[in-house]
Amino acid sequence: MTDQAPTSGPRSTGTEPGVPSGAPAPAGAATAVPVIELRGLTKTFGGAKALDDVDLTVLPGEVHGLLGENGSGKSTLIKVLAGYHTPDAVDLKINGEPVKLPLPAGSFGDLGLSFVHQDLGLLRDLTVIENLRMVDLAQSGSWRIDWRAERRRAYQLFDDYGVSLDPHALVNDISETDRALLAIVRATEGIKAATGEDRRGLLVLDEPTVFLPREGTERLFAIVRDIVANHASVLFVSHDLDEVRQITDRVTVLRDGRVHGTVVTAEATEGQLVEMIIGRRLAQLELARPDASGRRIAATVDGLRGPGVRELSFEVHEGEVLGLTGLIGSGFDQVPYLLFGARPCAAGEMRVGDATFALRSMTPKRALRAGLALIPADRQRDGSVGSLPIGDNMMLQVLGDYQPAQLQLRRMRRKSQELLNEYDVRPPDPGLAYQSLSGGNQQKALLAKWLQTEPPLLLLHEPTQGVDVGAREQIFRTLSASAERGMAIVCASSDYEQLSAVCDRVLVLGAGRIVRELSGGEVTKERIAEQVYNSVTLAEAERVR
């Protein structure tokens, strides 16, 4: 088996360039020894093949993308490399030398391998500097640590990477964006330390931009370009095709545990990549709905003030999807949590239906009684009980409808099974642990959990974060159908394509205030991006006015 796309793979139509049958190496790397070469990787769980005879080659100085739907085998491949899973069969070479899997603990650095996993691998009860340096300090053998010197070194390091972090802050107290950047800096420094002048290492980034807004992603890309400029390589796992097309040289696509093809990124269109990923062309998404501006106002927010937000006022109508977006620090990502009472609010009022609430005293319990629902960005930590079965997670908000519970268990199981089937959650087994699901299926289960309560106002933060293109389309259609039934939806997102696909209006925030409102034909990916990047200037003009 080879890294080449099969003859049954996607083909060009019209004037589009065809997907090549083989993917040549980046310039200068054609004759180089691969940094990593996997042959015949197979891994079985309970009789089902998660990986089936997979081949993968990453070359020196290459950013190699790894694409596939949730459940295609991407995470399993990464976990095999990281020693978490033992493969059934594989031939592995690192820099031309045969290596046996699983790798012993502590050997990754010696081999030039460094990982940033989806969960980032940080200890939240330790400080930034402790997370950054714990491995080196543990291996130093020293009985004393010069924390002043370590702090100076950390500040210099963060400055080199263009990252603003407090070395003494607890990781639990910093933002998800800063946690992601910390994990990336730590892993990148690990590559440099292990490979020295040669730098022929491999940095594996598994969904590295999940918690990064646009400018955070651009900072990451600058780091990646610096890595490959020094002859190291990057394996870049992502669902975001725009990012993959922007940063990778070649892409390998997994489908159902098998390699469907390896292509030169610049020679494949987005449509061809999508077809390789899901096995079919993705139909043009058309979610046109009746104009909601003339409908009854579902909720009004007046004078909202809180972390990152200053005097924010807006309204959302029944059947309307209202988008919120902006740069890091603009406050757009705080709004769903402030309205739901999940974060402390300094001032403001919200009217939902005929009831008015002081947001300063809002709590999640009161928000639920008012008819609000929140689906947070970190669905595992904040939106679910990961160790509980999927069915139990989906029924938590409606337990009162099944009292006495001990007499209603069968009815609850039937309902949870119906929801799994309706929302196409895979596998549709209510007894599986929620945390065992892929990202897209976790999100569909959360939507099922909340939408069955028919909330008048649904609050969302990054609803398609870490979700593959197929599940993403399903989520878009689900949200659109909910709005058509009269539900008001507020969606805070840094994904401009997502906002343009589902939103009737988009509010662009800058410095905690609304600086631009887009509606109708203005709600396009390009127009949203333009206004977001102008938001700093717009916010300053608003302040002066």
pLDDT digits (tens, 9 = 90+) for 348-389: 999 998 999 999 999 999 999 999 999 999 888 888 988 899
Judge contact between 404 and 202, C-beta under 8 A: no
Q: Do 86 and 183 reside in the same domain of the chain?
A: yes
Structure tokens at 445: 């289960």
Amino acid at 308: G
User: Residue 227: pLDDT above 90?
Assistant: no
Q: Do 328 and 204 reside in the same domain of the chain?
A: no
Per the rule left: phi > 0, alpha: psi between -120 and 50, beta: everything else, 234 is beta
Q: Do 193 and 62 reside in the same domain of the chain?
A: yes
**Residue 197 confidence (pLDDT):** 57
- Residues 273-302 have pLDDT tens digits of 988 988 766 555 555 556 666 789 999 999
Q: What number is the average pLDDT over the span 300-311?
A: 95
Q: Which of 214, 247, 278 is a domain's end point?
A: 278
Q: What number is the average pLDDT over the span 70-93?
A: 90
C-alpha span between 510 and 204 (Å, rounded): 34
Residue 397 within any structural domain of the chain: no
Q: Do 324 and 271 reside in the same domain of the chain?
A: no
Eight-class DSSP state of 72: S
Q: Do 196 and 111 reside in the same domain of the chain?
A: yes
Q: Do 193 and 313 reside in the same domain of the chain?
A: no
C-alpha span between 50 and 257 (Å, rounded): 5
The angle formed by the CA atoms of residues 208, 212 and 216, to the nearest 5 degrees, is 105
- Residues 257-271 have pLDDT tens digits of 999 999 999 999 988
Q: Do 112 and 181 reside in the same domain of the chain?
A: yes
Residue 419 within any structural domain of the chain: no
Q: Do 195 and 70 reside in the same domain of the chain?
A: yes
The angle formed by the CA atoms of residues 423, 429 and 433, to the nearest 5 degrees, is 105
Residue 213 within any structural domain of the chain: yes
Judge contact between 409 and 495, C-beta under 8 A: no
Q: Do 313 and 348 reside in the same domain of the chain?
A: yes
Q: Which of 252, 278, 304 is a domain's end point?
A: 278
Percent of the chain with pLDDT over 90: 54
Number of domains comprising the chain: 2
C-alpha span between 75 and 91 (Å, rounded): 19
C-alpha span between 263 and 274 (Å, rounded): 13
Amino acid at 98: P
C-alpha span between 441 and 72 (Å, rounded): 13
Q: Do 255 and 319 reside in the same domain of the chain?
A: no
**Residue 236 confidence (pLDDT):** 97
Q: Which of 244, 278, 312 is a domain's end point?
A: 278
Q: Provide the CATH number for the domain around residue 232.
A: 3.40.50.300
Which helix (H) or strand (E) element contains residue 178?
Answer: helix 176-195
**Residue 21 confidence (pLDDT):** 38
pTM given for the model: 0.71
- Residues 479-526 have pLDDT tens digits of 999 999 999 999 999 888 889 999 999 999 998 999 999 999 999 988
Confidence band, pLDDT 50/70/90 cuts, at residue 196: low
Q: Do 317 and 250 reside in the same domain of the chain?
A: no
Q: Do 358 and 266 reside in the same domain of the chain?
A: no
Site of tokens 């319990």: 365
Residue 425 within any structural domain of the chain: no
Q: What number is the average pLDDT over the span 439-460?
A: 94
Residue 80 within any structural domain of the chain: yes
Site of tokens 């107290």: 173
Site of tokens 């919120």: 324
Q: What number is the average pLDDT over the span 85-93?
A: 94
Residue 147 within any structural domain of the chain: no
User: Residue 4: pLDDT above 80?
Assistant: no
- Residues 323-334 have pLDDT tens digits of 999 987 899 999
Residue 436 within any structural domain of the chain: no
Asked if omega into 26 is within 30° of 0 (cis), the reply is no
- The mean pLDDT of the chain is 86
Residue 424 within any structural domain of the chain: no
Q: Is 347 exposed, middle or buried (0-12, 13-18, 19+ CB in 10 A)?
A: middle
Confidence band, pLDDT 50/70/90 cuts, at residue 541: low
Judge contact between 339 and 367, C-beta under 8 A: yes
Distances (CA, A) of 416 to 373, 458, 487: 19, 21, 22
Q: 209 is in which domain, residue-wise?
A: 36-120+175-278
In 3D, which of 326, 252, 256 has the Cα closest to residue 69?
256
C-alpha span between 522 and 500 (Å, rounded): 9
**Residue 20 confidence (pLDDT):** 40
Site of tokens 């004037």: 15
Q: What number is the average pLDDT over the span 5-20?
A: 35
